[in-house]
Chain A
């Protein structure tokens, strides 16, 4: 079936598609893009926000139609006969439309009915789908009561109720924890390898693109690269180095210096070192040579992400915003040793459900502290208690020396909070949001004007000042949320999954701001699903099922499970091992208890 000679399953020639925003601004989502997806391959679609990934997938699904060019899917002109294509493909939108008040089984049945799957086919197919997605025990549970990862798996199962010839997945792993993400990818690869399915998947996790057969890189509606992912990785061949920070300097501050350096393409902290991509090969590039002078440097194998960054930054206009030069008006000068957040034996119950179970940790002034964990681990609940939004069932917690639940409202002036998905007023413009929150924080007249001017400048929001915040591109929305949380100059900043769904560039920029803030004495507590981001933290705690499983510096946590010598464990591997071994113990304990009873 899948011979080399067979025509591509998806083939676009000079596909263009434009939109008009409600503000009247025209956006060219795709600009003369020619792509193909060969039969039987797993193809990754990558690119920063606004690259046109979702547009390409929706065009392929026949949900929207091209302005010019042709797009043929499964041999049909999809613009002309969308229904013929829709009968034969599976499509999973970014937010899969599960009916939350239907059960898992009812959702599956609905899609099986839509596709006319017979009862015999169902009885053969359901057990396999449910086994593959590990949803077997939950068929009677309402979809709305599943965790984020399980919802995604159910969405995938719904698109697979019959064998599609092409599967289109739009960011299926956004907001999904590493364990569920690994499961989803196992399912997808199995479908391609064993059943010869053709899959086009968009993702903002670049390490996911690495496992695909092919990759398509888009940026602002233009095609940057297309081919096997190794072709992209090889763009950085001979330009990738691991740099050892000199004694007395942290990997994070070295990374901060290097990423600000115009002579360096990319720098990220990795396992206590800094992974650096230079514009030219070693020794041939003067600027990079100066930036790295006097540092212990070792060549490293390029990865997809390195090639991707090389590709993006070789095209003009793609510099990091001046995130690193961000300065507070009044830096906080607390002693590094001061404990500013202390949590002891914190418990929160909802009925019989224990959301947070005897959690203890301490955060010192000027530290970046990361809370990592799968969906439903209790991270957000812990955050809400710390910020005084939710009372604790038992245990003690002190933030800046106070329990915010009991302290006067003025005590909250000392903390800033960026909620999950950023609580902004979508209908209000950037400046109106700033004005509103400034007055909510009690800033008036001159002080308010000064602080808003500061926020607009430091977060480079002037260009967007009139746009309603609901229409801001993802990266700008994040910046606005952070700007608002910093208006009243808090000394402690809480951020709940600020980088979920953000592209690699936006994430680097975000972390550059965070490290700059920490340098100026702001204490940061952050939750994230991106395990690589733990490398930016001074200390991290890994949570699952309400409990803290491991805690320490990133290096300590990586070493927690006892890595074999010479083989460094990535943060993601360490995380998966820690959570799985804790879950294994929990099951064997409960089995043991059950046997004894």
Chain B
């Protein structure tokens, strides 16, 4: 009865067959289970659209009030500058108290006040424009302030060029943005998007499907077959790795064609670093699910330790250098941080090897450690 003994079950061919069978099974499950499709495909798509169209850190069409207390030609010209600017939606008023009411009702975010003696002061070379900004949203306030200053500077530069103000020296503001010359926030949101999608598929989806096998008792049945634990782990890793790469491709296509964000560096560097990060995320997901054996707990923990840090602490949304030292120290163990560094280089700057090499190496080390950890803690045992 026991003629087909260890040789057959232990052979490389038999192992490959078992892994292939597990991969096929997993694929069937992903395709048929709405919740997997939701996490693996729909959620990344929503994120792409949300980031692309909903979330933008650029400020346009800010409602402002321009108070023209004496309609001299110079003042009217400056007011027209605000009205024509794409950044502002300016309403023209003649009395300050009207503007203040609008500001208090939060119908406008800023007031530009051009005083009655503006023309006279201008001819003396010391004109003043008062800019009042609603400060509840500090970030936005700073941007509005800068835009408003920009509008005034532009106006005075134009006048100087026309030689209208021989007395007043034109103020030239030399402003230049590096790496994001279009000053389009999509350029730095896209790398973040890639990180989030990879984390979602890699860690969250994997932790849930593995915990589900513990919960439903399917692993208990599988354990009592010749299958080996590394085969089970590979059977889980391969399909979600492929799914993660599909997610990456979706993001790159969206970046290129939806948001016109180019990849400046090598696509191979980008793909290589993504694979490493995906392995780390998959490993983390598997580890959490094996430790918790419960879908609910696994998903909570995964969101807490992988998704949220990738969002907040990876440096894509908030600059690492402006974080408190303790938090900054914490980010050094976050794989997302190294991945974001590589992504920002690839998307925004090109192949900066001084950034790519150390960060990719860190990801590689983490991938090896996490996968070995999984191999060590997962046993064919219910003890």
Residues on A facing B (Cβ under 8 Å): 1, 58, 61-65, 82-84, 86-102, 106, 109-111, 113-116, 142, 155, 158, 163, 165
Contacts and interface: CB of A to CB of B under 8 A. Distances in A.
Contacts of B227: 114
A86 B225 contact: yes
Contacts of A65: 381, 383
B4 interface: yes
B220 interface: yes
Contacts of B220: 63, 93, 97
A99 B218 CA distance: 7
9 contacts: A65-B383, A83-B226, A91-B224, A109-B21, A113-B18, A114-B226, A115-B226, A116-B226, A155-B221
A402 to B, nearest CB: 38
Contact of B381 (A63, A84, A113): A63
A158 B223 contact: no
A165 B14 CA distance: 21
B328 interface: no
A105 to B, nearest CB: 11
Given A65-B381, A106-B28, 6 more contacts: A61-B223, A63-B382, A93-B217, A101-B28, A101-B29, A114-B21
Contacts, number: 102
Which residue, A88, A94, A99, has most C-beta atoms of chain B within 10 A? A99
B9 A116 contact: yes
A96 B33 contact: no
B375 to A, nearest CB: 16
Contacts of A83: 226, 228, 380
Nearest to A93: B220
Which residue, B219, B221, B227, B380, has most C-beta atoms of chain A within 10 A? B221
Contacts of B4: 116
Given A110-B25, A113-B21, A101 B33 contact: yes
A96 B216 CA distance: 9
B227 to A, nearest CB: 5
A91 B221 contact: yes
Contacts of B228: 83
Contact of B216 (A82, A95, A106): A95
User: Per DSSP, are chain B's interface residues mostly helix, strand or loop, or mixed?
Assistant: helix
B5 interface: yes
A86 B217 contact: no
Interface in B299-320: none
Nearest to B219: A97
A267 to B, nearest CB: 37
Interface of B: 1-2, 4-6, 8-9, 14, 17-18, 20-22, 25, 28-29, 32-33, 213, 216-228, 380-383
Which residue, A101, A102, A165, has most C-beta atoms of chain B within 10 A? A101
A88 B224 CA distance: 9
B21 A86 contact: no
A113 B20 CA distance: 9
Nearest to B223: A63
Contacts of B380: 62-63, 82-83, 86
Contact of B383 (A64, A109, A114): A64
Nearest to A116: B14
Given A58-B382, A64-B381, A110-B25, A98 B218 contact: yes
A165 B221 contact: no
B29 A102 contact: yes
A83 B9 CA distance: 10
A86 B218 contact: no
A63 B214 CA distance: 13
A63 B14 contact: no
A58 B18 CA distance: 23
Contact of A115 (B28, B223, B225): B225
A114 B23 CA distance: 12
A87 B1 contact: no
A97 B2 contact: no
Contacts of B14: 116
Contacts of A142: 32
A90 B221 CA distance: 9
Contacts of A115: 9, 225-226
Contact of A64 (B5, B18, B382): B382
A97 B217 contact: yes
B217 A114 contact: no
A62 B1 CA distance: 20
Contacts of A96: 217, 221
Nearest to A84: B6
A114 B225 contact: yes
A343 to B, nearest CB: 36
Given A114-B18, A116-B9, A62 B224 contact: yes
Contacts of B18: 113-114, 116
